[in-house]
Amino acid sequence: VTYTLSEDFMRCAAFHGHICPGLAMGYRAARAALDYLKAQRSIDDEIVAITETDACSVDAIQVLTGCTLGKGNLILRDYGKMVCYFLSRNSGKGVRLAARPTRLERPGQGHEVAPERIELSYEGAYPEFKPEVTKEILELPIEKIFDIRDVEMEIPLRAKIEISEICEVCREPVMPSKVLLFEGCRVCAECAKAGTRAGQDGSECPAVS
Ligand SMILES: [Zn+2]
Ligand SMILES: [Zn+2]
- How far is CA 115 from each of CA 21, 94, 125, 141, 152, rounded to the nearest angstrom? 21, 30, 20, 16, 31
- Ligand 1 centroid vs 134 CA: distance in angstroms? 11
CA distance 199 to 206: 11
Predicted pLDDT at 160: 81
Taking the model in full, what pTM does it have? 0.78
CA distance 186 to 195: 13
Per cent of the chain over pLDDT 70 is: 78
- Ligand 2 centroid vs 13 CA: distance in angstroms? 37
Q: Higher model confidence: residue 207 or residue 131?
A: 131
- Ligand 1 centroid vs 14 CA: distance in angstroms? 11
Q: Which helix (H) or strand (E) holds 84?
A: strand 83-88
- Ligand 1 centroid vs 93 CA: distance in angstroms? 29
Which of 43, 148, 32, 48 is CA-nearest to residue 88? 48
- Ligand 2 centroid vs 206 CA: distance in angstroms? 13
Q: Which ligand is nearest to the Cα of residue 186, counting in written order?
A: 2
